[in-house]
Chains A and B, each alone.
Chain A
Amino acid sequence: MTSYRLPKGGLVDRKTPLSFTFDGKRMIGLEGDSVASALLANGQLLMGRSFKYHRPRGVLTAGSAEPNALMTIGEGGRTEPNTRAPMQELYQGLVARSQNRWPSLDFDIGSLNSLLSPFLGAGFYYKTFMWPAAFWEKLYEPFIRRAAGLGKASYETDPDHYEKCWAHCDLLVVGSGATGLAAALTAGRAGARVILVDEHARIGGGLLAETALIGGVAAPDFVASALAELASLPNVELLSRTTAFGWYDGNVFGAVERVQKHVRAPLPNVPVERLWRIVAKQALLATGAEERPLTFGGNDIPGVMMAGAMRSYLNTYGVAPGKSVAIFTTNDSGYALARDLEKAGVALAAIIDSRAEGAAPGVYSGTARVITGAYVSDAHGGKALASISVFKGGKTETLSVDALAMSGGFNPIIHLACQRGERPTWSDENGAFIVPDQRKGLTLAGSVATTNGLAACLEAGAAKAAALLGDLGFAAQASSFGTVEGDIVPAAAKPVWSIPGIKGKAFIDYQNDVHRKDIGLAVREGYGHVELAKRYTTNGMATDQGKLSNVNAIGLLAEARGISPGAVGTTTFRPFYTPVSFGALAGTSHGKHFQPVRQSPLHNWAKKNGAQFVETGLWYRSSWFPRAGEKTWRESVDREVKNIRINAGLCDVSMLGKIEITGTDAAEFINRVYSNAFLKLPVGKARYGLMLREDGFIYDDGTTSRLEENRFFMTTTTAYAAGVMNHLEFCTQALWPELDVRLASVTDQWAQMAIAGPKSRLILQTIVDEDISNDAFPFLGAKEVSLFGGQLQGRLFRISFSGELAYELAVPAGYGESVADALMEAGKEHGICAYGVEALGVLRIEKGHVTHNEINGTVVPGDLGFGKMVSAAKADFVGKHMLSREGLNDPNRAQLVGVAPLDPATTFRSGSHILEKGAAATLENDQGYISSSCYSPHVGSTIGLALVKRGASRHGEEVLVWNGIRNEYTPARLCDPVFFDPANEKLKV
């Protein structure tokens, strides 16, 4: 195949050839190439297949709007499907593969769909595939799913890193063409903090493909000197390869920087992509305009290209589009390409200008044949363009060409400005959808604001930047850049929606294969609203989100409905301007680092003692401590439980929430946030407290101790530690700011351990200096204690979750491990063991204590037998006022009850439901469910706690524990929820 690379010109480095493969075929490109330019240079015009009809497609653009040349780049965990070839920089060893074709790009069976196209028009699938009913999922849909989709994603783990950052600036400039550079220079020189982002590898935008002179130097050289100056300014951040994809509230812009997507082997200590959240005092949108395709037959044949793109390939990459080129234009911009092609020595077959009057005087002085008042009605060819039909005055002429450039005018790239609800309006004058150039925080300048021509854009960029910075208090002067020579300034062109004389398929949305007739069909069937037409035809829903197709579709809708494009309106602009990877948006949060890890101060103690850990929220909690010879977790847990009931055990409870509450109104405050009374809690005492939500349902529980008159220590459950703290802060700050109360979360300050079992006092006394005998320190005692002969101060609470004589000892976090070690050592002779949350669970179920298994957000105190903990004496507490509602006092409410199997050899599980004996298994007959269950060594069988309708009055009733999902059905009996020591004798010895 002949090389399309021109002997000279372009910004590519001809001394650095790069080898790459496309569908396994080895090719050579140059440093500075995009994959698309390198493929073109190698004569590879066929780059992809379309979605529905599998039409052969070449590259249409030189930018991010590319709908056709999508390919899979990279291998293994670095596989990136649907990559736009014009946006992917070439690197040595790059591996590119075409997509959506089988068996090969050249010969694609799917292209047979084209033959069926009369039956596959817009929305055809809504009208068929319904018979027989089962066939949709069994036959039709699997076939459609296999045929649909574009590239194939890898399931492999991505080996690369990503990161996120925040940035703040006075002025964010989006786009680095003439307008953006002028703005950035103006702002940078004024000393403002400037961030300039551009989605391309090179800063410079359209200037890089420009042959005009600015201040006497070639446009790319102008860019180079501007870049050097900006790079020298410490207050300017230049971000190339960075796409501003979204505009969010608070003038925050989301941008993604492709840091290492242009290298074969990314450095491991540098992210491949970086997500920027840019907080801009002001932002200037200098995003330019997107050239509009023209809707003629065969406008998708490889070799047909946007005129501006052809100019980029020619001027930036030194690649000729073909041997014989035609240009089809509705405006003067096509002539800039004509001029450059001729200068580069590429044969120009004809310029077809839809305007009867042709170009403005002086625009074109070349030698090519210019056919005015004419249209390209059809392009012909298979996998490459062979000829075009030129339609003029009812006659058709055929021209042999292998490349065709088209320019249907320009759509300002207003995407970001419209992401927060603003709707663009149609301008007949500009033949485009526009938005006013200023809104809070975001201003438009340059061709996005319909300013045409280099000189005007340079001036507009500088002037707008100066004005915005003036508002921010900078003394900014608009920079000037000398005269512009050789620029063609295209006047706005009248759009051409319908082209006469078309024979073939004229595509609007290339990727989704939406063609002209689909729009007509949508209107005919009642889907003429722009949103309905989009959804019915899928126009604008491809990976380019309609960058090229939306306005053409609107134009055709307008014609079909006999209204103006403005009356049709646009669909909604939404993030992302171009697609953003999961990796970039996830940053470092994935795998083991998905969420942070919390470790207790006793984590290492538990580890030393052989703990098995379990994720509990962010915590890793010790769940059991297996010993040699124990084969199952149950063996370990049973042993721990039995040992605690006979000897003693030590458990890490540091992850309970701990809140220090002080102030002269602390007691009053606690009295208002718990449903039970706390005002008269004596100093040196702990009390169990029940915290309700304002709707009357239980929120959390815990113990609160009065250490001094105005100092309390509250514990919460692990799960609700943060929530309770937030709630208490809400109460002090928003509800009762007049109370003298201060709160401090001290969860992380204290290592807290439960020492439970008949021998716990004996063991504790070896390290506690004070007398902790039953008389000196009775049940529910709470006080500061001296440890190890005064070496350490701790807090001791005589509270019990297990039903045994038990304590909780809190010591400063850093001492936790040593103190636990000391207790284990001292307890050795008394048979102490470490125990985890599993044994803790068994002990508390045996004792009938509830946790969030029971406090599930739908229970009121009475449901759990805590009716007496709702103080009738208190005038107010959180949750009091909603408690009297009928439904919360309905005798049929579920209530806490114990459950044990009739046959101790049988078992049941949590989550099983309760049915009356003999009742049919229906949801209507559902009596409740097992909220907690375990094997109880004390009872000698499985036991459970359950929430059962009228449960408190049903002790002794035989029921069926129904676990249909596992086919387990266990006859059982409801009973008192306290299985162990109902008289509480053990607690108080």
Chain B
Amino acid sequence: MRYSALSLLMNGLRGNASWKPAWREPEPKPHYDVIIIGGGGHGLATAYYLAKEFGVRNVAVLEKNYIGSGNVGRNTTIIRSNYLLLGNNPFYELSMKLWEGLEQDFNFNAMVSQRGVLNLIHSDAQRDAYTRRGNAMRLHGVDAELLDRAAVKEMLPFLDFDNARFPIQGGLIQRRGGTVRHDGVAWGYARGADSFGVDIIQNCEVTAIRRENGKVLGVDTNKGFIGCGKLAVAVAGNSSQVASMVDMKLPIESHALQAFVSEGLKPFIDCVVTFGAGHFYVSQSDKGGLVFGGDIEGYNSYAQRGNLACVEHVIEAGKAMIPGLSRVRVLRSWGGIMDMSMDGTPIIDKTHIDNLYLNAGWCYGGFKATPASGFCFAHLIAKNEPHEVTRQMRLDRFERGYLIDEKGQGAQPNLH
């Protein structure tokens, strides 16, 4: 059923008894043209675009838990396209453009809110780096603006301008950046995909991938064997685990990242701000909670939780950036599992198995990429050709030496 002001009114008057399920709960069919493993943001978006844009509708999304139970439901909801390198920037900008039309496209209010993303500058070297980055963005037609100290102060007078260990000298802002209600993205894509006939199958865990003559036949699951023409993997956090089912070893490590929300507050901060002298960034949700995060824990983990040292590290940076946070209370911390790749950039590619497709390595940047990742992965699956903006996101780039390393940290995933 289509959502509209009228449907809300009519249903409200009828006691809200006739709302229909947002998606079906089908039993798996014996065979699909495409099976997508992973009912997170990327998997659901892939299914949606496969069906809507590429006419591939005999599709199943297999999710071992509930949809959106992975990183799409546990991130800090930020969208931006402030990337430096040609291998990344056009991809994230495509994503931003898709965000901008998403809600009308899938008829679900995911609360895309372009409140601006500001990265603070604390040194000459940072200014140079952000100048380089801002120019790369501008060269691709992405909005970017350098702010001086006075402009930042006018915008966010409550940052520490008087007593900071690393004084704020300015910032790089992308005004089109912002936040999106993360769960809403998963639900909107799920509902949209379902409306085109995609089967979304929750509580369906893939236990093995069956192959014959170098091709994937289908998957064994806790709901039985399901055959497929093509198999697409979008399970960031667990990519290595699924890849090991076909004896693949990936240039990826799984790392824990914590995120946080404060108690609800009246409007406190309007845009997304990233500290430049420590690991901290923050925005405020529409409900009033300050949503913030910092750096990964640093050690390999599948546990979806972190430790106190990292919590303190993040909070220290938070109070250093905004002294007024001191008496604000942190309500909850949680953890997600990041596919940390060896150069900090994701992989959207075919594999050596010719009907197996891989979408992985999102580090902590997967949420903002959701629409473009889904679109480009669907393109790759449907056409067997990479979308123009993901040409460099190849799996063999490590072996060939064509790395896409924005931070320049090299083959140590916990530094990206």
Contact of B187 with A by CB under 8 A:
yes
Minimum CB–CB distance from A970 to chain B (whole Å) comes to: 13
Taking a contact as CB atoms closer than 8 A, the residue among A420, A572, A592 that contacts B163 in the complex is: A592
Say yes or no: B16 contacts A133, CB within 8 Å. Answer: no
Say yes or no: A885 contacts B400, CB within 8 Å. Answer: yes
Chain A residues positioned under 8 Å from B402 (CB to CB): 886-887, 890
Contact of B7 with A by CB under 8 A:
yes
Chain B residues positioned under 8 Å from A587 (CB to CB): 312, 316
Chain A residues positioned under 8 Å from B22 (CB to CB): 525-527
Minimum CB–CB distance from A79 to chain B (whole Å) comes to: 6
Contact of A375 with B by CB under 8 A:
no
A532 to B21 Cα, complex, angstroms: 13
Residue of A nearest to B115 (CB): A137
Say yes or no: B264 contacts A910, CB within 8 Å. Answer: no
A949 to B145 Cα, complex, angstroms: 26
Segment from B213-221, B235-243, B300-308, B362-370 that makes contact with A = B300-308
Say yes or no: A590 contacts B264, CB within 8 Å. Answer: no
Q: Which of A74, A119, A858 has the most CB of B within 10 A?
A: A858
B69-93 contact mask (Cβ, 8 Å, vs A): 1 or 0: 1000100000000000010011000
Whether A693 contacts B411 in the complex (CB less than 8 A), given A121-B12, A158-B326, A586-B312, comes out as yes
Taking a contact as CB atoms closer than 8 A, the residue among B3, B69, B308 that contacts A246 in the complex is: B308
Say yes or no: A517 contacts B16, CB within 8 Å. Answer: yes
Say yes or no: B263 contacts A525, CB within 8 Å. Answer: no
Contact of B250 with A by CB under 8 A:
no
Tell me the chain B residues, 120-148 only, with Cβ under 8 Å from chain A.
122-125, 127-136, 138-140, 144-146
A525 to B11 Cα, complex, angstroms: 13
Chain B residues positioned under 8 Å from A572 (CB to CB): 334
Tell me the chain A residues, 579-607 only, with Cβ under 8 Å from chain B.
579-583, 585-587, 589-595, 597
Chain A residues positioned under 8 Å from B267 (CB to CB): 145-146, 149
Chain B residues positioned under 8 Å from A592 (CB to CB): 163-165
A290 to B316 Cα, complex, angstroms: 33
A694 to B409 Cα, complex, angstroms: 12
Contact of B107 with A by CB under 8 A:
yes
Minimum CB–CB distance from A494 to chain B (whole Å) comes to: 29
A925 to B219 Cα, complex, angstroms: 44
A154 to B327 Cα, complex, angstroms: 8
Chain B residues positioned under 8 Å from A137 (CB to CB): 113-115
Residue of A nearest to B191 (CB): A526
Minimum CB–CB distance from B377 to chain A (whole Å) comes to: 22
Contact of B407 with A by CB under 8 A:
yes
Say yes or no: A529 contacts B202, CB within 8 Å. Answer: yes
A592 to B166 Cα, complex, angstroms: 8
Minimum CB–CB distance from B412 to chain A (whole Å) comes to: 8
A924 to B90 Cα, complex, angstroms: 10
Chain B residues positioned under 8 Å from A153 (CB to CB): 265-266, 268, 324-325, 327-328
A899-941 contact mask (Cβ, 8 Å, vs B): 1 or 0: 0000000000111110000000111111001010000000000
Chain B residues positioned under 8 Å from A74 (CB to CB): 327
Say yes or no: A78 contacts B316, CB within 8 Å. Answer: no
Whether A152 contacts B327 in the complex (CB less than 8 A), given A586-B315, A926-B86, comes out as no
Say yes or no: B263 contacts A129, CB within 8 Å. Answer: no
A582 to B312 Cα, complex, angstroms: 9
Taking a contact as CB atoms closer than 8 A, the residue among B21, B187, B399 that contacts A885 in the complex is: B399
A477-518 contact mask (Cβ, 8 Å, vs B): 1 or 0: 000000000000000000000000000000000000000010
Say yes or no: A923 contacts B408, CB within 8 Å. Answer: no
Whether A543 contacts B308 in the complex (CB less than 8 A), given A591-B163, A964-B139, comes out as no
Whether A128 contacts B8 in the complex (CB less than 8 A), given A580-B330, A922-B139, comes out as yes
Contact of A715 with B by CB under 8 A:
no
Say yes or no: B332 contacts A574, CB within 8 Å. Answer: yes
Residue of B nearest to A527 (CB): B22
Say yes or no: A582 contacts B268, CB within 8 Å. Answer: no
A963 to B115 Cα, complex, angstroms: 25
Chain B residues positioned under 8 Å from A155 (CB to CB): 157-158, 322, 324
Contact of A421 with B by CB under 8 A:
yes
A582 to B23 Cα, complex, angstroms: 41
Tell me the chain B residues, 46-81 only, with Cβ under 8 Å from chain A.
66-69, 73
Chain B residues positioned under 8 Å from A545 (CB to CB): 331-332
Contact of A20 with B by CB under 8 A:
no
B146-163 contact mask (Cβ, 8 Å, vs A): 1 or 0: 100000000001101001
Say yes or no: A581 contacts B327, CB within 8 Å. Answer: yes
A70 to B111 Cα, complex, angstroms: 28
A966 to B125 Cα, complex, angstroms: 17
Taking a contact as CB atoms closer than 8 A, the residue among B8, B134, B400, B403 that contacts A119 in the complex is: B8
Chain A residues positioned under 8 Å from B265 (CB to CB): 81-82, 149-153
Say yes or no: A148 contacts B286, CB within 8 Å. Answer: yes
Chain B residues positioned under 8 Å from A254 (CB to CB): 308, 311
Chain B residues positioned under 8 Å from A158 (CB to CB): 323-324, 326-327
Minimum CB–CB distance from A5 to chain B (whole Å) comes to: 31
Residue of A nearest to B278 (CB): A594
Chain A residues positioned under 8 Å from B263 (CB to CB): 81-82, 150-151, 543, 579
Whether A130 contacts B109 in the complex (CB less than 8 A), given A136-B103, A580-B329, comes out as yes
A693 to B403 Cα, complex, angstroms: 14
A131 to B109 Cα, complex, angstroms: 10
Whether A277 contacts B327 in the complex (CB less than 8 A), given A153-B265, A590-B319, comes out as no
A939-974 contact mask (Cβ, 8 Å, vs B): 1 or 0: 000000000000000000000001111100000000
Chain B residues positioned under 8 Å from A688 (CB to CB): none
A592 to B160 Cα, complex, angstroms: 10
A376 to B330 Cα, complex, angstroms: 37
B1-34 contact mask (Cβ, 8 Å, vs A): 1 or 0: 0011101110011011101111101000000000
Say yes or no: A913 contacts B86, CB within 8 Å. Answer: no
Contact of B288 with A by CB under 8 A:
yes
Residue of A nearest to B334 (CB): A574
Chain B residues positioned under 8 Å from A164 (CB to CB): 312
Tell me the chain A residues, 72-120 only, with Cβ under 8 Å from chain B.
74, 77-82, 100, 118-119
Say yes or no: A922 contacts B165, CB within 8 Å. Answer: no
Taking a contact as CB atoms closer than 8 A, the residue among B135, B266, B407 that contacts A964 in the complex is: B135
Say yes or no: A857 contacts B303, CB within 8 Å. Answer: no
Contact of B183 with A by CB under 8 A:
yes
Say yes or no: B319 contacts A857, CB within 8 Å. Answer: no
Say yes or no: B287 contacts A148, CB within 8 Å. Answer: yes
Chain A residues positioned under 8 Å from B355 (CB to CB): none
Taking a contact as CB atoms closer than 8 A, the residue among B9, B286, B303, B326 that contacts A583 in the complex is: B326
Say yes or no: A525 contacts B328, CB within 8 Å. Answer: no
Chain B residues positioned under 8 Å from A438 (CB to CB): none
A425 to B330 Cα, complex, angstroms: 28
Say yes or no: A913 contacts B136, CB within 8 Å. Answer: yes
Minimum CB–CB distance from A570 to chain B (whole Å) comes to: 14
Contact of A888 with B by CB under 8 A:
yes
Say yes or no: B139 contacts A913, CB within 8 Å. Answer: yes
Contact of A259 with B by CB under 8 A:
no
Tell me the chain A residues, 259-292 only, with Cβ under 8 Å from chain B.
275, 277
Say yes or no: A248 contacts B128, CB within 8 Å. Answer: no
Chain A residues positioned under 8 Å from B184 (CB to CB): 126
Taking a contact as CB atoms closer than 8 A, the residue among A160, A694, A922, A965 that contacts B131 in the complex is: A965
Tell me the chain A residues, 15-71 only, with Cβ under 8 Å from chain B.
51
A143 to B226 Cα, complex, angstroms: 48
Chain A residues positioned under 8 Å from B158 (CB to CB): 155
Contact of B397 with A by CB under 8 A:
yes
Taking a contact as CB atoms closer than 8 A, the residue among B12, B107, B146 that contacts A965 in the complex is: B146
Contact of A980 with B by CB under 8 A:
no
Contact of A125 with B by CB under 8 A:
yes
B383-416 contact mask (Cβ, 8 Å, vs A): 1 or 0: 0000000000000010111110101111100000
Which 3 residue pairs across A and B have the least CB separation, nearest first? A857-B408, A911-B131, A887-B401
Given A275-B312, A590-B326, A966-B131, 12 more pairs with CB closer than 8 A = A82-B263, A82-B329, A119-B9, A128-B8, A136-B103, A151-B263, A421-B303, A572-B334, A574-B305, A581-B330, A887-B402, A926-B139
6 contacts between A and B (CB under 8 A): A126-B184, A141-B286, A145-B284, A155-B157, A155-B158, A586-B312
